Structure 1
């Protein structure tokens, strides 16, 4: 199906995002965290990274079910109708004009980032003791955000079938690198092909998916570990916790925004 001029502009915006080195905030955080990252590389063993990666993997599986209780499709549909969209189901949104869906998706950014910052500031007061509570809460907020942004474009991200795409978004948010973006866009292509042909999306072929399931949680854990450890700095924990959570949630929103727009466009091109 032919794309509109607006959709062509968005396509170019996504291509630019794909090849850049991350947002200014991402680059600033990476620069500021270089000393902490060095300490992590020196003193955190690969075995510990694997253990944290396994925790992240299990956590995301559990939270995918739990987040269904915190995300109500009816609220999003009501917001869409206020914008003049005549939709009855989330899936109806994928057939609405992209220029009307983008503001709907962007309206979700700030509330989640602020919520994550408040949560991070509170748990940051407890230093290392409360980091264990902070990480599940942070992932809960961000998984809900991913699901809502996906739904804003007509793609409900509920259930294990969408796990590869969700993991890819988290990986882009945590690293901001070109390699992560390229891998996520390849996952988008698989999803777009399945959805355009009314097939069930199940991620890339099983061997790659199994490797991805092992590797991505480890990469996410590695990129977040040093930043979360910075919350243990005396007196600075609350500010660092709030800042890191705000940064991570903002990056999650941007990654999800770009990737779901890419999914919308590629699915339309394949119809």
Structure 2
């Protein structure tokens, strides 16, 4: 392994502990408050959010109209790929911040419009990041992996532990679409961002909240995406080295 890869491996060990850490008292209280807020959101709005998540997820897994950037040249190091992904994340974050501020300043209707727009930005970033790390997003298996990263980044602590285990074992097991609990997936994502995005609808602070919330959500997605692919790439490399040594 290169010095950079060894440094990344140490970072990943700390991140993995963070992923498997039990929920703190503050997080448990926050979850209860979030659940209470959830009951205050009109059922019509909840149905709209849920349907949006479902449709865009189906497009992500089964659609052929998602365009991605061109594949990188072969032989790029992990350090090179990390730099390219960080640059791409900055581009998408800028778009998300402007979009969040614009829709947040436009009142309730535009505030609600931010939800599917932001979801689209996140999905597009995930596809581009996968390509930059050398994975073929045309393959259903890779789209499923993207879906799991999405779940990992935007779900409760309890659900995150299970998803992380799946990602950690990804290349040693085969996962099928039928194994995904779609209802759970939609609820976890919707509940995770509902409270944040609902504040965006408040007159007077919507623009500021929208910009800040979108920045934070993209930053979180970037961290989780990079670490998931780093972990996978290093695991594949170690497996390859092990096979070579056995021969």
| Shorter-chain TM-score above 0.5 | yes
Q: Retained in 2: the 8 A contact 1:20–1:178?
A: no
Give the CA deviation at 1:185: 4.9
Partner residue of 2:10?
12
Any unmatched runs of 5+ in structure 2?
Answer: 241-247
Q: Kindly report which structure 2 residues correspond to 1:137-176, keeping only aligned pairs within 5 A, or say none.
A: 137-158=117-138, 160-175=140-155
Partner residue of 2:69?
72
Mark the CA change 1:204 to 1:255 in structure 2 (over 3 Å): closer, same or farther: same
Give the CA deviation at 1:173: 2.5
Any unmatched runs of 5+ in structure 1?
Answer: 78-86, 195-202
Distance 1:38 1:216 in 2: 16
Aligned partner of residue 142 in structure 1, secondary structure: helix
Mark the CA change 1:100 to 1:249 in structure 2 (over 3 Å): closer, same or farther: same
Partner residue of 2:245?
none
Q: Retained in 2: the 8 A contact 1:67–1:140?
A: no
Distance 1:152 1:119 in 2: 25
Distance 1:103 1:37 in 2: 36
| TM-score, with length taken from structure 2 | 0.78
Partner residue of 1:81?
none
Distance 1:21 1:241 in 2: 27
Partner residue of 1:240?
209
Mark the CA change 1:164 to 1:54 in structure 2 (over 3 Å): closer, same or farther: farther
Q: Kindly report which structure 2 residues correspond to 1:86-165, keeping only aligned pairs within 5 A, or say none.
A: 87=73, 92=74, 95-158=75-138, 160-165=140-145
Q: Retained in 2: the 8 A contact 1:189–1:266?
A: no
Matched residue pairs, number? 233
Partner residue of 1:84?
none
Give the CA deviation at 1:172: 2.8
Distance 2:19 2:48 in 1: 29
Aligned partner of residue 107 in structure 1, secondary structure: helix
| TM-score, with length taken from structure 1 | 0.72
